[in-house]
Amino acid sequence: MEEKNTKSQNAEREEKILSFWKENDTFKKSIEKEAPKGKYVFYDGPPFATGLPHYGHILGSTAKDVVGRYQTMRGYSVPRRWGWDCHGLPIENIVEKDLGISGKKAIEEYGIEKFSEHARSKVLTYVSEWKKTVDRMGRWVDFDNSYKTMDNSFIESVWWALGELNNKGLLYEGVRVLAYCSRCETPIANSEIAMDNSYKDINDISVYVKFRLTPTQKMHPLFNASTLTRSDAFSAPEIFLLAWTTTPWTLPGNTAIAINKDLQYVYVKNNVPDKDETFIIAKDLFENLKTKFTDPEIIKEVSGNELVGLSYEPVFDYYKNADMPNKENIWKVWHADFITADAGTGIAHEAPAFGEDDMNLAKENNIPFIRHVEPNGVFSAEVTDFAGQYVKPKSEDEKIRFQADINIIKYLQESGAYFDKEKIKHSYPHCYRCDTPLLYYALPSWFVNIQKVKADLLEKAESMNWVPAHLKDGRFHHTMENAPDWTISRNRYWASPLPIWKSESGQMMFTSSVDDLKSKVKKSGNKYFVMRHGESTHNTDGVCSSVADYPHHLTEKGKEVVSENASILKSENISMIYCSPFIRTKETAEIVADLIGFDKSKIIYDDRITEYKFGDFNAKLFSDYLKWRKEIGDTVDLCPPNGESVVDARRRFSSFYYDIDNIHKNENILVITHGIGLETLDAVKNVYNDEVMWKNWKMNSVLPGHFVKFDFYPLPHNANYELDLHRPYIDSIVLVDENGTEYKRIPEVIDCWFESGSMPFAQDHYPFENPEWKQNNFPGGFVAEYIAQTRTWFYYTHAISTMLFGEAPFKNVVTTGTVLAEDGSKMSKSKNNYPDPWILFDKYGVDALRFYLMSSTLMKGEDVNFSEKGVQDIASKIVSRLENVATFYELYRDVSIENGELDLEKNTNVLDQWILARLSSLVSEVTVSMDAYDMAGATRPFELFIEDLSTWYLRRSRDRLKDGDVNAKKTLYYVLKTTVSVLAPFAPFISESVWQKLKNENDAESVHLCDWPAFSYENSDVVGMMQQVRDVVTLGLQSRQKAGVPVRQPLGKFSIPMEFTSLYTEIIEDELNVKEIVCDTTLSDVFMSFDITSELKKEGQYREFVRAVQDLRKKTGLMPADVVTLYVQCGEIEKDIVNTFLPEFQKTTGLREVVWGDTSGDEIKIGDLVFVVKIEK
């Protein structure tokens, strides 16, 4: 059986606070309360809901909640809205696993529509678990009204953004070599690889390859060389360019050799018996390579420039006879600046389709490129010896992973092109979602031209404040400085589609909104006229009538109105009539047909355009139906028994219009239907989803017998006839230009980072619904994510905002480190190397975990090994201590004095002055740190302050509080309320709990509805003196410990080498339990007198007895206010000791009387003294 998780008092208290917030709508009130500083703009980057929230999410959520609560108390209104990242490879990979398929071919065979709908169903799998965790963490955020990147409104805003970039000339299509996953068959951004540390150290095989120079008279390097006696170039020795590659699988795609013209190269004769071979390598690498040769001999040295232009024979001849552009430039030697003499041979084989440098060299020199690997990562059919083999498969088995390279090397050995091989270990990128080794692969893509705007990105970034600060000019600056153009297209399915259409001639058409789509969509040429049947007896009777053959005929008035409108229709040249098969619609159609001269036999009847299905309300009063809807709750999906909802009606009418519009072209079509047919027209036209349809729903305003013109156009929609901009629905939409040229959508979708980077404006459907958005919601005041987002979400959001609005998107950026397991390894569910957060919630309370995370160096962007002991310490040192102080105050509370102001001038008690000065310092330190978004700095002073409050101030003030000292009570009351006010953002539960205990009728309903404390009280003298007092006490206690004399044993004198007033010496005397403090500045150290007189010994024994009785009170479960009788049986010596201090004893231990005599009870031993005592209430 699973062990039941017992909840601590902290957890139970927190759950009560959660209920309090919910019942009182406290979060909503915090947003709506007076905000003199206006609105604080808060952006929340969207997570995926495809897994359960982990410590990283809890960390980020806590940081966001802390700032939101703090800024609210500082006078801002801080709306916080949750969001979900819904698209991309993370979802697609889950769907593939669910369906048991893999790869694009399998997806397309399964069906893109079914695949996308399955993806939609998986997006929000764990939403309820997320909500549960977010709520339990005490995070205040509008969770139920979350934005989703898959919503049409979000996608439309993303389209608008791309349209703006296109208008600015920042979008272009090009062919580039990109990091590419052959399993997912899509490019992967370098930032995505870096973000999740997708580089792995793996073993690989490298090979040295012999490229034989073409032995022509003009080009042979040794022709007429002085070292040779023969002059016939064709009889010269075989000469090879020796190249080294770590990717043998790319060799069939070789089209060039690269050298550096500024390097020196040498011809090395390899003295192998029966072979006459000479190799060209970089001179500076000869020493590194000479062991690979047999008795090597340098026979010539040339500059790299002399090698440029030489031709060589390809090591694979698959494409030797292929037709390709610029073939005259293939298999030659070219200069490249990127060639160095740091490693290899100083000569590189170039396969432009598989390397960025290679591709750039090819573009500069019109060198052909060969793509001999298919998009799914296998050798193409042209590579006949290896066709269909994976070049870089995912496998832990090196034999499988190396197979392609091994086969290539075997081929080289057989063909004579092999020279040597080496096993290497290097860092290699893998797909961040499926873990497949990536290829660098040339493919056409769409790009944002970052180079054009890079200077702007760097300039605008200067306005942002970063925590930690070094990231601003470090990692973030370098990310921008080295950023390539942004590949925004992905060859996938479940994502926002690229709103780009192409004609057969390659012309482009962009759409930037749904309205733009409507204006460009290819239309059928049909014109639609929708008529409501004439008035019938069911109208005059006021009854529901949804049975086709029920004899509700047109009234005379109905026939007259139909005839009038038919006369108007006569000029519209109606070529087709579709009609509902009801008696009243048939009669209407026949009247119209007669008057406009339409052949009645050609009227088409369709069940999809019939009356609303009233179900059990058929033949009953329509007013009763409306009353029922109102009583039960009028909703879009409300369905009368055995009837249909308006959603059902919309679907059948939509089906009708889409079908006939697809069938007919350039017709004038009259549709004769019922009131519901007119009421659903707007939803049909705009393919509204249920929510939008109901929001825009209007009862029919078209009178019986009248008609309206209906401008229908096809829009992308799902099976429910709701607008859906996803694939494959958008793919079916054909656009046309003013010349009638057709354009079909390109199949690519948008990089999901472009979506999440558009979150600031897309969440509010800008600019379509909220045109004033920028004035009130940009830039964001604060964002917080983990440090890897520096290269991704932070960068992409900054890039988009700068390009669109000319400003940085954030004012303050907080980056957190990564929460690791206690041993420093990555947290792993399978390894079970970290505690379940929910267990910690119940064990220590959420406040402890929140405070632990906020006070750690995680908030400085550093990784931290998670420590449950650290959480436990916070629960003890912060939460429990504060609770105990508040509980003690409640015992002696006097509500009558709590409304009065503190009189700081009249209160001369140094303890009160000291704790108030310490409180002022706490408020100041927390405020300064929070204003700088330094949450670790803001939490730092709490532990010491609460320790001072609990173990020094309260302990020193207990007697004053018990005795009713007004200054002590007022001081502690004020300190507690102010402390929980500044603690509230970090530990919202304990702060609320204490506030609820202490608040009066003039206070805010919740501590989180309070203003931030502005308390200031400087008293450095008292703080300094109190520190000296505590230092002296520490020295005195050390002296006692060293001598083995407990504190309860009074001593006569303690001498100290400094001056203190009596206000402070009294504290020292009491703390050290000495009768006299001697201040003697001539001393060099403190001195404790350990001469114990009989009186001192007697008092020491008494104090031990007091302690024992107090312990017995606790054991009995008594409260401090309980007054009891103590029965004592003891000898005369013991009795004398107690009687000597009896008044003090009774007061200290809460006794009404002490009864001496025989009794049964607990035995107390103090040295040789023995007491038997019993407590009775």
Q: What was the pLDDT predicted at 618?
A: 95
Sign of the CA dihedral running 837, 839, 844, 847: positive
Among 591, 601, 592, 586, smallest CA distance to 574 is for 592
- Whether 224 has a pLDDT exceeding 50, the answer reads no
CA–CA gap between residue 550 and residue 541 (Å, rounded) = 14
Count the residues in the chain. Answer: 1177
Residue 867 makes CB contacts below 8 A (sequence gap 6+) with 822
pLDDT tens, residue by residue, 984-994: 999 999 999 99
Q: Which of 310-314, 846-850, 896-900 has maximum average pLDDT?
A: 846-850
pLDDT tens, residue by residue, 576-586: 999 999 999 99
Indicate the helix (H) or strand (E) that contains 820.
strand 819-820
What would the two tokens of residue 452 be? 């054009």
Same fold, 200-429 and 523-713: no
Q: Can you tell me the mean pLDDT for 247-275? A: 92
Residue type, 695: K
Which range among 46-50, 298-302, 811-815 shows the weakest confidence by mean pLDDT?
46-50
pLDDT tens, residue by residue, 104-146: 999 999 999 999 999 999 998 889 999 999 999 999 999 999 9
- Whether 223 has a pLDDT exceeding 70, the answer reads no
Q: Can you tell me the mean pLDDT for 732-753? A: 96
Which range among 177-191, 240-254, 757-771, 807-821 shows the weakest confidence by mean pLDDT?
177-191
Q: What was the pLDDT predicted at 1120?
A: 82
What would the two tokens of residue 803 be? 């390009």
Q: Can you tell me the mean pLDDT for 709-736? A: 97
Q: What was the pLDDT predicted at 230?
A: 34
Q: What was the pLDDT predicted at 233?
A: 38
Asked if 596 and 564 touch (Cβ cutoff 8 Å), the reply is no
- Whether 967 has a pLDDT exceeding 90, the answer reads yes
Q: What was the pLDDT predicted at 253?
A: 93
**CATH fold of 9-86+123-168+753-844:** Rossmann fold (3.40.50)
Distance from the Cα of residue 665 to its chain's centroid: 49
Q: What was the pLDDT predicted at 546?
A: 94
Residue type, 474: G
3-state secondary structure of 100: coil
Cα dihedral 451, 454, 455, 459 in deg (nearest 10): 170
pLDDT tens, residue by residue, 662-681: 999 999 999 999 999 999 99
What would the two tokens of residue 270 be? 């390899």
pTM listed for this prediction: 0.89
Asked if 998 and 975 touch (Cβ cutoff 8 Å), the reply is no
Indicate the helix (H) or strand (E) that contains 593.
helix 583-596
pLDDT tens, residue by residue, 928-963: 999 999 999 999 999 999 999 999 999 999 999 998
Which is more confidently placed, 317 or 881? Answer: 881
Among 900, 704, 863, 841, smallest CA distance to 786 is for 863
Confidence of residue 195 (pLDDT cuts 50, 70, 90): low
Asked if 388 and 379 touch (Cβ cutoff 8 Å), the reply is yes
Task: Tokens 């009606």: give the residue.
Answer: 649
- Whether 226 has a pLDDT exceeding 70, the answer reads no
Q: What was the pLDDT predicted at 644?
A: 97
Q: What was the pLDDT predicted at 222?
A: 52
- Whether 196 has a pLDDT exceeding 80, the answer reads no
CA–CA gap between residue 261 and residue 308 (Å, rounded) = 7
**Mean pLDDT in the chain?**
92
pLDDT tens, residue by residue, 1068-1092: 999 999 999 999 888 889 999 999 9
- Whether 157 has a pLDDT exceeding 70, the answer reads yes
CATH C-level class of 523-713: alpha beta
- Whether 225 has a pLDDT exceeding 70, the answer reads no
pLDDT tens, residue by residue, 63-116: 999 999 999 999 999 999 999 999 998 899 999 999 999 989 999 999 999 999
Angle at 834 between CA 833 and CA 836, to 5 degrees: 135
Q: What was the pLDDT predicted at 179?
A: 87
Which is more confidently placed, 237 or 1163? Answer: 1163
pLDDT tens, residue by residue, 806-815: 999 999 999 9
Q: Is 1170 left (phi over 0), alpha (psi -120 to 50) or beta?
A: beta
Residue 1016 makes CB contacts below 8 A (sequence gap 6+) with 920, 923, 924
Q: List the domain boundaries for the chain.
A: 9-86+123-168+753-844, 200-429, 523-713, 1026-1092, 1104-1176
pLDDT tens, residue by residue, 377-405: 999 999 999 999 999 998 888 888 889 99
Across the chain, how many H-helices and E-strands are there? 42, 38
**CATH fold of 200-429:** Isoleucyl-tRNA Synthetase; domain 2 (3.90.740)
- Whether 184 has a pLDDT exceeding 90, the answer reads no
Among 749, 797, 803, smallest CA distance to 187 is for 749
pLDDT tens, residue by residue, 1145-1157: 999 999 999 999 9
CA–CA gap between residue 1071 and residue 705 (Å, rounded) = 99
Asked if 485 and 453 touch (Cβ cutoff 8 Å), the reply is no
Q: What was the pLDDT predicted at 902?
A: 84
DSSP states along 626-687 = HHHHHHH---TT---TTS--HHHHHHHHHHHHHHHHHH-SS-EEEEEE-HHHHHTHHHHHHT
